[in-house]
Amino acid sequence: PTFYSDYRQRPVTAAELKVVVQGPIDVASTAAAARRIATELNPEVPIAFRTLREIVSASLADRRFVLLMLGIFGAVALVLATMGVYGVIAYMALRRTAEIGVRMALGAQRRDVERLLVKQGAVFALAGVALGLVAAFALTSLLTSFLYDVGVADPATFVAASLTLLLTAVAASWVPAYRAARIDAVVALRNE
């Protein structure tokens, strides 16, 4: 058998030949039959078989690694953001101990104090998400080469990320709000 291989279409090497073999679902028997036929034609030719799935997987390995790293960095950023929101709300609650004591002394329920502090955390989170969405839309052109089968302006991705950040911020602000609402009004007023 003779193959015509145009060297302009094979810039790397003309010594390599790729043949697509289609056969039954059993890859091992198809590979064995193709190997037997190839060795009958020329026993000195080295033969390697890879499935189409392996070829596609190898071609996407770099992208998978980049996406894995982006996912890890995203998770670290989410943890840091959660700690930041927690710290800010805890500091605000500490600075407002007297105010919380006055509110409680005047009849505010614990639920009202919790709602006040969680609402402030949610306002900060909304501002951060709004700024983040603006930055994300501005930088989507840089991420185009890393995305596979997802558009750069995929609404589901932006909504999911925004909701995740908002819910995380509300959860992070609830813990210090819960603690602040458990302050005894008399103790809070006495400390000031």
Is the domain of 3 the same as that of 14? yes
User: Which of 31, 29, 36 lies closest to 49, judged by CA?
Assistant: 31
% of the chain surpassing 90 pLDDT: 17
pLDDT at 1: 47
13 pLDDT more than 60: no
Longest Cα–Cα distance in the chain: 98
pTM for this entry: 0.62
Q: What is the DSSP string of 144-186?
A: GGG-SSS-TT-HHHHHHHHHHHHHHHHHHHHHHHHHHHTS-HH
User: Which of 59, 34, 57, 29 lies closest to 17, judged by CA?
Assistant: 34
Is the domain of 85 the same as that of 45? no
Is the domain of 183 the same as that of 145? yes
Kindly report which listed range (11-15, 63-67, 151-155) carries the lowest average pLDDT score.
11-15
* Domain of 128, in residue numbers: 61-191
d(CA 108, CA 13): 80
pLDDT in tens, 155-190: 888 899 899 989 998 898 898 888 888 888 777 777
Is the domain of 144 the same as that of 114? yes
Is the domain of 46 the same as that of 92? no
pLDDT at 115: 92
Is the domain of 47 the same as that of 121? no
Kindly report which listed range (14-18, 96-100, 124-128, 155-159) carries the lowest average pLDDT score.
14-18
Number of domains comprising the chain: 2
Is the domain of 15 the same as that of 81? no
Is the domain of 113 the same as that of 167? yes
pLDDT in tens, 135-148: 888 887 777 766 66
Instruction: Tell which wins on pLDDT, 154 or 12.
Output: 154
Is the domain of 53 the same as that of 77? no
Is the domain of 67 the same as that of 122? yes
Q: Which of 32, 59, 86 is the last residue of a domain?
A: 59
Is the domain of 51 the same as that of 138? no
pLDDT at 3: 57
Is the domain of 101 the same as that of 116? yes
